Structures are given as structure tokens and as C-alpha cells.
Structure 1
Amino acid sequence: MEENGALWLTIKDLPEEERPRERLLQHGPAALSAAELLAILLRTGRRGENALQLAHRILQHCEGLSGLGRIPAHELARIPGVGLVKAAQIQAALELGRRVAAAAPEERPLVRSAREAYMLLADMADLEQETLRTILLDTRGRVVAIPTIYVGNVNTTLVRPAEVFREAIRRNAVSMIVAHNHPSGDPEPSPEDVALTRDLIAAGQLLGIRVLDHLIIGRGRYTSLRERGLSFATPSFSQLAPRT
């Protein structure tokens, strides 16, 4: 779009793979920057400035996310391009995030077996593209997060252990379960799946993050490589569960 002889891009002018909302739907919210997430909340920018540019400016004004969390609504609304409606949307999202963070740990699922892990990931059976996710766990075996790591071919030539463990490190997870789907519907692991699993177990040992299992998800069923006899980090699922 051109204004006063200068070109500026709206969100719709960006390539589809660079648009925040499309990136979230494709790769999950964990793959987005703070500015991209904020741009989704804003939805629109103002004349001469798209939502992503406005989001960057808001974060700069607030000196980052911590400042955004502290700024009063009326002050946020005075930032050019924000206004009362956008300020209310941002503050509502921030408060919701606080309430989620404050939720009792007992509200987070406890994973004590491959079957329980599969139940958290059963929707992957319907995905048309091969997708890799991880279930991140705390010291008691409760779920910290389930980020999507890759969408596309999941094999040893494309999957980088650094990417798989990035969210686990960021969220201070102590163990993880890796899972990916086979769009064919057949959960039988390939030699590449086994090779990838061994690479991830080795990387986890170096990083101090235990890889407890790798699930291959098919249509209505799954395969656990731990149950198939592959050597995984200890403790087992049962050893992670809290004592009663």
C-alpha cells in the first residue's frame, strides 16, 4: 500500500507464512514472538502502521513484556494506535494468562503411562501433515506444556535436537515424551523413527532432560517405543508419579 509516496505493508501484504495468525495455526503459539502474539490480539494497526509494527512499538514503549504487564489500561490506551478497545483486549489477555499461571498444579494432567500420554495427543491422528510434539513434564510427572515442534517430514535429516529441546529448556521441564503422527494411519515405527529417538535420548542425557518415550500415533492407535523395548532414560512413568 502506498501513502504520501511511501510504501508500507499491511498484514495481508505479507507472505502467508509470515502472517502471525497463520503462523500460530501452522506451528502453534510457542513458535511466535511476543510481538506476533500481541499483533494477533490487536488484529489491526492504524494508517501507515500494521498490527505487527504497532505491537513492536507497544513493547518498545513498555520496555518489554514485564512492562506491558504492569502498565495501567488508561496509559496503554494513550499510546497512538491503541485506544480503549485494544487496551482492554490486551489487559484481558494478560489477566487470563495470570490466572492460568496461578491455577493449582493439580489441575494439570498427570502422565503415568504411554496410554495417558496418548490420550493427550489423540487429535494428532487426524492431522494431514506429519507433526512432532513434545509433552513437557515437571518433577512430579505433571504436564507443563505440549508444544508443537515440527510440521512436515519428521526424520533424522530434518529434526534438530536443539529445536526439540528448546521449549523444555525454556520451561524448566525435567522430562519429556516425544510424539509424532503417521498420516498414513499406520503407527509402525520406521528405522528413521528409531534413529531419531536414539539421538534425542542422547541429547537429553547431555542436557539433563529425560526422554521417557516416543509415541508414534496412527489412526485410532499408537505405538510406544518404550513398550517396544527401546532403552529410554529412567525413571519410568510410574517412578515419576507422586506418591499417595
Structure 2
Amino acid sequence: SRAAALRVSACVEVGRRAARAWPADPWLIRTPTDVAEPLVDAMGALEREELRVLLLDTKNVVTAERTVYRGNLAGSSVRIGEVYRDAVRACAAAVIVAHNHPSGDPSPSGEDLRITSELAEAGRLLDIELLDHLVIGRGRWTSMRALGALAQPPAPTMRESTPRAWSTT
């Protein structure tokens, strides 16, 4: 039937768009810009707040991207356990958290700073490094690490005795 053909066509188009959204080559993260630029394109114009978590392996390659929250017009509430749930299940070495401000202004709020601190502490306890927390606006972004909100580096672990390369420049 025509309706079934339209449904199949729509599913194919959704698959094409999803394939274009995920990088064809391994998504290696060396700096906040490496992750912020694709996320500004994907999240900068969203009308509602979203929080995403990127899971990284020990070489800073993104292994998965998860949308943890979609908020209402008034914002979203964040449970730290939900942010780290998939990272624990996947045995991720590190995460990068990003959320957008529907206003378009990527300036971090007091709540953003508080949540960043809690995420960093939880990551230390779980042995999953929080590399950064990015606030995404329209065409702009802010790195919480560059602002000093993640100033206390995690202690080296048995599997990794040298600091991970992560530059904010």
C-alpha cells in the first residue's frame, strides 16, 4: 500500500540522516573544539534543553553518544547516576558531557557549575574521567574545563600512569 511504502521510505531517510550524523572515521578527541563543533551543529538550535554524554575509550576515541535528558521549556533536571549509567555499563575510560542552553547563550549558570563539580566527583569515584562539560549555545560554546571548573585532575590509575592529553587551546 502507499502508506506502507511511505513508512519504509521515511525509515530509510531516518537511517541516512543518522549515518551522516555519526563520523565515518573514528571520532578522536584532542581538544574541546574537536567535540564542540559537531555538537554546536547538532544542539545549538534546539528549542528544549538536552544533555548528552559521549563515552570515550583510553585513546580518547568516542565509542558512543547518548542523550540522557530532554528537558521541557523550563530546563531539565539531572541525576548524576543517569549520566554515568551507560559509561559504567560500557566500561568507558572517560566521558564528555554536553548540554545546550535554548536561549542560545552558552554562559554557564550557577547550577551548571554545581552539576559539573558533582559530575567530576562522581567520575573520580567511578574511575571514569570527566574530560569536560560543554555548554552549547547558538553558534557558540563554553568549556567548563577551560573555565577551571574541573581544576582538580583525577589521580592516575593502574591502567594509566600518564595524564591523558587534553588541551583547552
| TM-score for both structures, normalised by structure 2 | 0.73
* Aligned residue identity for 1:109: W
Does structure 2 retain, via aligned residues, the 8 Å contact 1:201–1:233?
no
- Per the alignment, residue 238 of structure 1 pairs with 166
1:149 is matched with 68
Offset at residue 236 of structure 1 (A): 4.7
Which residue of 119, 122, 128 corresponds with 1:203?
A: 122
2:91 alignment partner, SS class: coil
What's the % identity of the aligned pairs? Answer: 48
2:93 corresponds, among 163, 167, 174, to 174
Runs of 4+ off more than 2 Å: 232-239
User: Residues 209 and 177 of structure 1: is their aligned pair in 2 closer, same or farther, counting only changes over 3 Å?
Assistant: same
How far apart are 1:224 and its partner, in Å? 0.4
Write 1 or 2 for the structure with the bigger share of strand.
2
Residue ranges of structure 2 left out of the alignment (5+ in a row): 1-6, 8-23, 155-162
Q: Secondary structure at the match of 2:44?
A: helix
TM-score by length of 1: 0.51
Residues 232/144 of structure 1: CA separation in 2 closer, same or farther (3 Å cut): farther
Alpha carbons of 1:215 and 1:195: their partners in 2 closer, same or farther (altered >3 Å)? same
Q: Secondary structure at the match of 1:134?
A: strand
Please give the alpha-carbon distance, in whole angstroms, between the structure 2 residues aligned to 1:125 and 1:213: 18
Number of aligned residues: 134
- Residue equivalent to 2:34: 116
Q: Check if 1:130 corresponds to 2:49.
A: yes
* Higher RCO (CA < 8 A, seq sep 6+): 2
Q: Any gaps of 5 or more consecutive residues in structure 1?
A: 1-42, 44-105, 240-244
Amino acid paired to 1:178: V
Structure 1 residues 119, 167: closer, same or farther in 2, change over 3 A? same
RMSD: 2.2
Aligned counterpart for 2:147 among listed residues 199, 223, 228: 228
Could you tell me which amino acid in structure 2 is paired with residue 225 of structure 1? Answer: M
- The aligned amino acid for 1:113 is T
Q: Within 5 Å, give how 1:1-244 maps onto structure 2.
A: 107-122=25-40, 123-152=42-71, 153-154=75-76, 158-230=77-149, 231=151, 233-234=153-154, 235-238=163-166
How far apart, in 1, do the equivalents of 2:93 and 2:132 lie?
14
Q: Distance in 2 between matches of 1:150 and 1:115?
A: 23
Instruction: Please tell me the residue identity of whatever aligns with 2:140.
Output: R
Q: More helix by proportion, 1 or 2?
A: 1
- Between the aligned partners of 2:36 and 2:152, the Cα distance in structure 1 is 17
> For residue 118 of structure 1, what is the amino acid of its counterpart?
A
CA contact (8 A) 1:201 1:211 kept: yes
User: How far is 1:119 from its partner?
Assistant: 2.1
Q: State the Cα distance separating 1:186 from its structure 2 match.
A: 0.3
Name the CA distance, whole Å, in 2 between partners of 1:138 and 1:236.
11
Q: CA 1:223 to 1:237, structure 2 compared with 1: closer, same or farther past 3 Å? A: farther
Q: Secondary structure at the match of 2:133?
A: strand
